[in-house]
Chain A
Amino acid sequence: MELYEKSAFELSEMLKAKECSAAEITESVLGRIGKTEASVEAYVTVCEESAREQAKKVDEMIAEGKELHPLAGIPIGIKDNISTKGILTTCSSKMLYNYVPPFNATVMNKVNSAEMVVTGKLNMDEFAMGSSTETSYFKKTKNPHDLTRIPGGSSGGSAAAVASGEAIVALGSDTGGSIRQPSAYCGVVGLKPTYGSVSRFGLVAFASSLDQIGPIGRTVKDVAMVQSLICGHDKMDATSKDIAYPDYAANLKNDVKGLKIGIPDEYFGEGIDAEVKDAVMETVKLLEKNGAEVRKISLPSTAYALNSYYILSSAEASSNLARFDGVRYGYRTENYDSLIDMYEKTRSEGFGDEVKRRIMLGTFVLSSGFYDAYYKKAKLMQKKISAEFSEAFADVDVIATPTVPSGAFKIGENMGDPLKMYATDICTVTINIAGLPAISVPCGKTANGMPIGMQLIGGHFREQTLLDAANAYESIVGGFGNIPKIV
């Protein structure tokens, strides 16, 4: 078994036992990138040199006998919308093709202070808008399980890198499912933390009230380790919650005895493939057999989640993306004859069609005379959806649903039809609207061999409950399988 195939936890133990060096781990991952990146295309930027330097530094620290963070020396890939000082941060957009932030996102300060090894910046849908990573200006990332299929999105590069062994763990961001959906498609574990638990400072905003950074890994334990590292109050982010956060990884349990699992009918209805429903229900039964209690619950407003989501996220996006005007950073059009001309050309040439659609939708719903009909209604629906979840969590500990309605689709299959693309978020957007944590874990495969994901949703700041349940499930099934062969 190659080092790149191992989990962060295993590698951490090996480093501690001096069974391998950080340099060897980094070389193994860089070697894997060298071998498979041409096919997978997960990275926008690979940081070979700085990764090697960092690994060397960790080895020196180990040699000096320094006390190190469990994640020291572990390679991590970073979604390209997380600001990295001195490293290109493009959001996979032509608009930021040359943008190098002069500062680090708060999560990067944490990653760096833990002495992790940053392997590079991962591809994504442009400005995180999309469900397939096909809207990236630079490249189309492939699903490691089938290179003709999409890896999901928007954190498609993050999920594909972890699934293919091009990274041990990765950071993604999730606004409507962007961590969980690609994790499900790529057969890895992805956690969307509670809104306010991970600082958004330095995350290039798509929809500020919904965005959250979270970890992707091949095991639940790895995800717990990274989440323990990145969570916490940050005074630079006014929306970050100032509470005590547990060490999820240290506390991780693996039994589900007495765990109350809610099954909402609304997530198993029309539009969800039968094989997906079956796979999720079988997993639930397995958990029941191991001591969990299963009960039916109802979340009646689920049907309106997608509508509210597209109104709220697009409204915020239209404002958040207005700053890209070619004045202070990024792309500027070459020929212009006035300020307005420069603005319009820069933005029209710098943004792709999907981003333009969302900006225009957001501008429309906020424009004079329409605010009450769209934005306000969506906000009221958000309130209702949140209330329904609160009610549900009075009776259950977690809620189990499919993560996505089907397995990964073919590249290009949904590009012509935005609504069909948006529908792949149907099971995940609700969770962002309610600000809840949710994890996607692999739970079988479709008939054509593509991974299926189960989503476990928890109450606010109940990440431990989710990780414990997911960890128990992982031990019951004996792990989530090997890294696919990539040909």
Chain B
Amino acid sequence: MDYEIVVGLEVHAELNTRSKIYCDCKNAFGLEVNTQVCPICMGMPGTLPTLNEKVVEYAIKMGHALGCTINNVCKQDRKNYFYPDLPKAYQISQAEVPLCQNGKLEVMLDDGTVKTIGVTRIHIEEDAGKLLHDDSFSGSLVDLNRCGVPLIEIVSEPDMRSSAEAKAYLETIKSILQYINISDCKMQEGSIRCDVNVSVRPKGSDKFGTRCEMKNVNSFSAAVRGIEYEAKRQIEILENGGTVTQETRRWDDVKGMSISMRSKEDAQDYRYFPEPDLLTIVVDEKKVAELKDSLPELPNAKLKRYVQTMGLSRVDASLIVESLDRAALMDACVAIGKGSPKSIAKWILADISKYMNDTGKSILDTPLTAARLCDLVAEIEKGTISNSAGKTVFEAIIAEDKEVADIIAEKGLSQNSDTSALEAIAKEVLAANEKSINDYKNGKTNALGYLVGQCMKASKGKANPGLMKEIVTRLVNE
């Protein structure tokens, strides 16, 4: 039987605010253990939370980016459970009314097709601390620095049908977080984590199968591996006449397998109730609108525009979109309207990217403005300079901070595209090379290359090589 995979994702993203969500401790990663804490985030008796306004604003921005309804009147709730990394033994989160809900996200798959994934909700909550395990020590160590780091949890609908769709969704979410600059998105620091819900069902069925939730998925590639493993595991169970049990599983990326953590019966009873230490969150509707207006063009929309209206390939388009710098340069060039987008994209992805990789510089820190890149591409497209001369111009822009026209003139890089002038040169050269013409006519096709080379030489390298080849070919065949 053919099966269909059904995936839903819960993405946790740490927000890059200056201070923590409920206290004024610094929101920072990687500092010495238990030094970014205070009585509030350590859950000392008598301490109270105060909600960071930027956390609310950032979450609303993400809500807008994902087309959500913004609940500008909402509240926070306590999620109660005991664990050493959770000092208050409850996490302040949102249960009943999330800040944002009912959104959707368009993601472009590798083949260029666009798929819409429903976004159930986005809510704000606090991160927990970290447990450190050391084999040389009989206990576990607790570092509370991460306690109170602000998080948004983005919950999707079970709308994905493959690991590839899940990956595209995750990459799009990450890209949006970066575009609206609300998260550092450093996977290695755990600033984005996800829980994956997977179920399978016979193809064509409209009923969902029993799902398993997979925790501890720490990278997008792990999500792909986890989904594939989990789907295979579930299909095998069904194929062998078994039934999938609802449970929470833990993904072990090193071993490449998921392990059962707890069954539905052992599911935790979180005893949610309204957080009594905080009052109603009310965000002015004007502020909500302002936050919407503050959003830039989002990467998924940009990708769609690059592919569908500018004709870039899916791969080239996403390579540009994934970098804010590259995309900014691309858009500035397109706005100038000189040079074809495809050629501009090629320059951005080849020479410019190579230069940036080699030097570690940002495009914004070089004299290569959008206007100069457009000029450069336009001159090549017009045939004024050759591709290889273009590279020389590019290097000169960076090194000398000059205009394209000036560089071409100074270095004498312009090529001759005057058909009658080129014809005159060609006729002269051909007249002196009758032997080669005969060779060519007798089937030695490479003689043509020799002739074109001689013509180029005679033009002192300034002839447009394409045009020259065309002329020589015509003349010898006459």
B271 CB, nearest partner CB in chain A, Å = 4
B70 CB, nearest partner CB in chain A, Å = 21
B43 at the A interface (CB under 8 A): yes
Contact pattern, A 84-109, Cβ under 8 Å of B = 1, otherwise 0: 00000101000010010111010000
B277 at the A interface (CB under 8 A): yes
Q: Which residues of A contact B277 (CB under 8 A)?
A: 205, 208, 238-239
Q: Complex formed: what's the CA distance from A237 to B278 in Å?
A: 8
A110 at the B interface (CB under 8 A): no
Q: Given A204-B45, A236-B48, A239-B279, are A319 and B87 also a contact pair (CB < 8 Å)?
A: no
B83 CB, nearest partner CB in chain A, Å = 9
Q: Which residues of B contact A203 (CB under 8 A)?
A: 46
A222 at the B interface (CB under 8 A): no
Contact pattern, A 301-335, Cβ under 8 Å of B = 1, otherwise 0: 00000000000000110110011110111000000
Q: Complex formed: what's the CA distance from A103 to B44 in Å?
A: 10
Q: Given A236-B50, A339-B84, are A319 and B273 also a contact pair (CB < 8 Å)?
A: yes
Q: Which residue of B lies closest to A210 (CB)?
A: B276
- Choose, from A159-167, A258-266, A361-369, A395-403, the stretch at the interface: A361-369
Q: Given A101-B39, A203-B46, A323-B43, are A328 and B51 also a contact pair (CB < 8 Å)?
A: no
Contact pattern, A 139-158, Cβ under 8 Å of B = 1, otherwise 0: 00000000000000000000
Q: Which residue of B lies closest to A205 (CB)?
A: B46
Contact among B45, B273, B278 with A91 in the assembled complex (CB-CB below 8 Å)? B45
Contact pattern, B 45-82, Cβ under 8 Å of A = 1, otherwise 0: 11111110000000000000000000000000010101
**Are B271 and A363 within 8 A (Cβ)?**
yes
Q: Which residue of A lies closest to B50 (CB)?
A: A238
A138 at the B interface (CB under 8 A): no
Which A200-259 residues sit within 8 Å CB-CB of chain B?
200-205, 207-209, 235-239
A317 CB, nearest partner CB in chain B, Å = 11
Interface range on chain B (Cβ under 8 Å from partner):
20 to 34
**Are B50 and A325 within 8 A (Cβ)?**
no
Q: Given A89-B45, A371-B273, are A235 and B88 also a contact pair (CB < 8 Å)?
A: no
Which A57-102 residues sit within 8 Å CB-CB of chain B?
81-83, 89, 91, 96, 99, 101-102
Q: Given A236-B50, A239-B277, are A319 and B45 also a contact pair (CB < 8 Å)?
A: no
A422 at the B interface (CB under 8 A): no
Q: Given A204-B45, A236-B50, are A325 and B82 also a contact pair (CB < 8 Å)?
A: yes
Q: Which residues of A contact B272 (CB under 8 A)?
A: 366, 371
Q: What's the count of A-B pairs with C-beta under 8 Å?
A: 101
**Are A102 and B45 within 8 A (Cβ)?**
no
Contact pattern, B 368-407, Cβ under 8 Å of A = 1, otherwise 0: 0000000000000000000000000000000000000000
**Are B46 and A322 within 8 A (Cβ)?**
no
**Are B271 and A367 within 8 A (Cβ)?**
yes
**Are B279 and A238 within 8 A (Cβ)?**
yes
**Are B39 and A319 within 8 A (Cβ)?**
no
Q: Given A315-B273, A328-B42, A375-B273, are A238 and B78 also a contact pair (CB < 8 Å)?
A: no
B36 CB, nearest partner CB in chain A, Å = 15
Q: Complex formed: what's the CA distance from A315 to B87 in Å?
A: 19
**Are A319 and B44 within 8 A (Cβ)?**
no
Q: Which residues of B contact A323 (CB under 8 A)?
A: 43, 45, 87-89
B251 at the A interface (CB under 8 A): no
A409 at the B interface (CB under 8 A): no
Which A322-357 residues sit within 8 Å CB-CB of chain B?
322-325, 327-329, 339, 343
**Are B80 and A237 within 8 A (Cβ)?**
no
The listed residue with most B CB atoms (<10 A of its CB), out of A105, A205, A371, is A205
The listed residue with most A CB atoms (<10 A of its CB), out of B43, B45, B84, B271, is B45
Contact pattern, B 79-115, Cβ under 8 Å of A = 1, otherwise 0: 0101010011110000000000000000000000000
Q: Complex formed: what's the CA distance from A322 to B89 in Å?
A: 6
Q: Given A322-B80, A322-B82, are A238 and B46 also a contact pair (CB < 8 Å)?
A: no
Q: Complex formed: what's the CA distance from A204 to B47 in Å?
A: 8
Q: Which residues of B contact A201 (CB under 8 A)?
A: 46-48
B269 at the A interface (CB under 8 A): yes
Q: Complex formed: what's the CA distance from A82 to B46 in Å?
A: 8
B142 at the A interface (CB under 8 A): yes
Q: Complex formed: what's the CA distance from A318 to B269 in Å?
A: 13
Contact among A101, A327, A363 with B45 in the assembled complex (CB-CB below 8 Å)? A101
**Are B269 and A209 within 8 A (Cβ)?**
no
Q: Complex formed: what's the CA distance from A204 to B276 in Å?
A: 14
**Are A99 and B45 within 8 A (Cβ)?**
yes
Q: Which residues of B contact A83 (CB under 8 A)?
A: 45-46
Q: Complex formed: what's the CA distance from A209 to B49 in Å?
A: 14
Q: Complex formed: what's the CA distance from A324 to B279 in Å?
A: 25
Q: Complex formed: what's the CA distance from A214 to B276 in Å?
A: 19
Q: Which residues of B contact A103 (CB under 8 A)?
A: 39, 44, 47
Q: Complex formed: what's the CA distance from A36 to B463 in Å?
A: 113
Q: Complex formed: what's the CA distance from A235 to B89 in Å?
A: 24
A7 CB, nearest partner CB in chain B, Å = 30
Q: Complex formed: what's the CA distance from A238 to B279 in Å?
A: 7
Q: Complex formed: what's the CA distance from A367 to B273 in Å?
A: 10
Q: Given A238-B277, A315-B273, A319-B271, are A204 and B46 also a contact pair (CB < 8 Å)?
A: yes
Q: Which residue of A lies closest to B23 (CB)?
A: A236
Q: Complex formed: what's the CA distance from A219 to B84 in Å?
A: 47
Q: Complex formed: what's the CA distance from A322 to B80 in Å?
A: 8
Q: Which residues of B contact A238 (CB under 8 A)?
A: 48-51, 277-279
**Are A316 and B276 within 8 A (Cβ)?**
yes
Q: Complex formed: what's the CA distance from A288 to B271 in Å?
A: 50
Q: Which residues of A contact B89 (CB under 8 A)?
A: 319, 322-323, 325
**Are B50 and A235 within 8 A (Cβ)?**
yes
Q: Given A239-B279, A322-B89, are A101 and B46 also a contact pair (CB < 8 Å)?
A: yes
Q: Complex formed: what's the CA distance from A200 to B48 in Å?
A: 8
Q: Which residues of A contact B45 (CB under 8 A)?
A: 83, 89, 91, 96, 99, 101, 204-205, 323-324, 329
Q: Which residues of A contact B46 (CB under 8 A)?
A: 81-83, 89, 101, 105, 200-205
**Are B269 and A319 within 8 A (Cβ)?**
no
Q: Which residues of B contact A328 (CB under 8 A)?
A: 42-44, 87
Contact pattern, B 264-295, Cβ under 8 Å of A = 1, otherwise 0: 00000101110011110000000000000000
Contact pattern, A 188-203, Cβ under 8 Å of B = 1, otherwise 0: 0000000000001111
Q: Which residue of A lies closest to B142 (CB)?
A: A327
B55 CB, nearest partner CB in chain A, Å = 14
Q: Which residue of A lies closest to B49 (CB)?
A: A238
Q: Complex formed: what's the CA distance from A307 to B424 in Å?
A: 107
A231 CB, nearest partner CB in chain B, Å = 17
Contact among A89, A105, A205, A366 with B271 in the assembled complex (CB-CB below 8 Å)? A366
* Chain B interface residues toward A at CB < 8 A: 39, 42-51, 78, 80, 82, 84, 87-90, 142, 269, 271-273, 276-279
The 4 closest A-B pairs by CB, nearest first: A322-B89, A366-B271, A208-B276, A209-B276
- 24 A-B contact pairs sorted by A residue (CB < 8 Å): A83-B45, A89-B45, A102-B39, A102-B44, A103-B39, A201-B46, A205-B46, A208-B276, A208-B277, A209-B276, A237-B48, A238-B51, A238-B279, A319-B78, A319-B80, A319-B89, A319-B271, A322-B89, A323-B43, A323-B45, A328-B87, A329-B45, A363-B271, A367-B271
**Seed contacts A99-B45, A208-B277; 9 additional CB < 8 Å A-B pairs:** A83-B45, A203-B46, A208-B276, A236-B50, A238-B51, A322-B80, A325-B84, A339-B84, A371-B272
